[in-house]
Structure 1
């Protein structure tokens, strides 16, 4: 008894490049300004339009109608990122980023963003990033020109005094601040201080 084969839907004509275990990653980007039938990916620089079309069809079963790609050049920075002490006037340009925008037949809806990020401990991550940025600012060549935190707080206090938001309160001298140990005694009584003659 012969079994009937399940008819398979013929897909688009694809390339013959076989990729079993890909050593690259595709990063899907949120693009609220594009229609829902478009999706944008950050891809490796050596990936071409045919590769992303084959990959999306074979892995996810998504037919791609058209692909647009462009390479975004990064800004020049001082020294390499992650350096403990950035060297001034040593310029470094990070590797360019390649982006591909594909057009699909069916629209894709992004899941809603979570309201709270407590499960991922985002508060600690943000605090660590802020602390790292403050430490990096200390080693920059122009860090001496920027005012310190103490100077900023003194300027804010002076501004509040001038605007009348705060009142000036002088330091009060407490009479019983010093201990009274007895009568006053002059220490050096035998020192002869002669007058200086004018010439």
Structure 2
């Protein structure tokens, strides 16, 4: 199953729309530099695995003779072989050395101190893709704590998940300031760091539920999400917990074990309030007509009599 999903992701990644999304999702400064160098469009000789910039570097290295003898047969490497060598150099693990023992075995010796994984959370989100633009499978977006650096991101993804990266762009999104009731400035949301990471192996997540046109697929995804995460049960529990905590501090409040958050109970309470209001209006109208017939002021109404008439009706 994993091999099939990997094959599907790879087939999508080599699609023309995926390559277009990879080019268009680059920052504006990068696109301007590529346009100035004539790399904004795919060349007729371009490769499916290399970006236009990487293909230009490969062609330049071939022209200068820098790749002579670096291929498998002692010749020049192909574009795929050159890309594999480039990714190995990008994702090399620093701080270690491979030593050859007397018996011929090779051991990895750490040159520095041991690094332990911190208790941090990498939250993966979908890439920011404008409507009508293709999704870029060679890019992943994460939300991180503010203390994480680019070196930490590269090491964490490679050591924990085996994900090889090509580039990392980070940015801090600060929550806006609001003035509290006591006059102090506060932030309502948490400030976080966003990291956009380039991937060597493409990954295309499943489409969001809102973009699914087929009702059967949308219903199936909703059932799988409900079975895996209990979304509706969590919403009901959160609502009841909020009701319990907010009502607990009110005066003369007791928990009667009534599901007041259910639709039936809410409609019943609305109907009872409407019934009482209508009968109170009818009783008031009856008493006003009686006072008018007797020549008395209409504003002099016996409220006890009005209550009795409302209950009788």
> What's the TM-score, normalizing by structure 1?
0.50
Contact residue 72 and residue 98 of structure 1 kept, 8 A: yes
Question: How far apart are the structure 2 equivalents of 1:72 and 1:122?
Answer: 28
Equivalenced residue count is 131
Given candidates 92, 106, 125, the residue that maps to 2:201 is 106
Question: How far apart are the structure 1 equivalents of 2:128 and 2:242?
Answer: 28
RMSD between aligned alpha carbons? Answer: 4.0
Given candidates 7, 13, 32, the residue that maps to 2:92 is 13
Q: Which residue of 2 aligns with 1:89?
A: 183
Q: Compared with structure 1, are the counterparts of its residues 125 and 89 closer, same or farther at alpha carbon in structure 2 (3 Å cutoff)?
A: farther
Q: Compared with structure 1, are the counterparts of its residues 109 and 131 closer, same or farther at alpha carbon in structure 2 (3 Å cutoff)?
A: farther
1:51 deviation in Å?
1.5
Given candidates 127, 138, 156, the residue that maps to 1:55 is 156
**Whose helix proportion is higher, 1 or 2?**
2
Higher relative contact order (CA 8 A, sep 6+): 1
Q: Which residue of 1 aligns with 2:118?
A: 22
Contact residue 15 and residue 50 of structure 1 kept, 8 A: no
Which ranges of structure 1 fall in alignment gaps of 5 or more residues? Answer: 1-9, 80-86, 136-169, 179-199
Given candidates 62, 66, 75, the residue that maps to 2:167 is 66
Question: How far apart are the structure 1 equivalents of 2:237 and 2:127?
Answer: 24
> What's the TM-score, normalizing by structure 2?
0.34
Greater CA radius of gyration, 1 or 2? Answer: 1
Deviations 1:131-154 (A, max 9, x none): 59x99xxxxxxxxxxxxxxxxxxx
Other structure's SS at 1:56 match: helix
Which ranges of structure 2 fall in alignment gaps of 5 or more residues? Answer: 1-87, 96-111, 130-134, 210-220, 248-280, 291-304
Q: Compared with structure 1, are the counterparts of its residues 98 and 15 closer, same or farther at alpha carbon in structure 2 (3 Å cutoff)?
A: farther
Deviations 1:26-81 (A, max 9, x none): 111123515122111111222111211111111111110100001111111344xx
Q: Compared with structure 1, are the counterparts of its residues 128 and 20 closer, same or farther at alpha carbon in structure 2 (3 Å cutoff)?
A: same
Q: Compared with structure 1, are the counterparts of its residues 29 and 129 closer, same or farther at alpha carbon in structure 2 (3 Å cutoff)?
A: farther
Q: Compared with structure 1, are the counterparts of its residues 31 and 129 closer, same or farther at alpha carbon in structure 2 (3 Å cutoff)?
A: farther
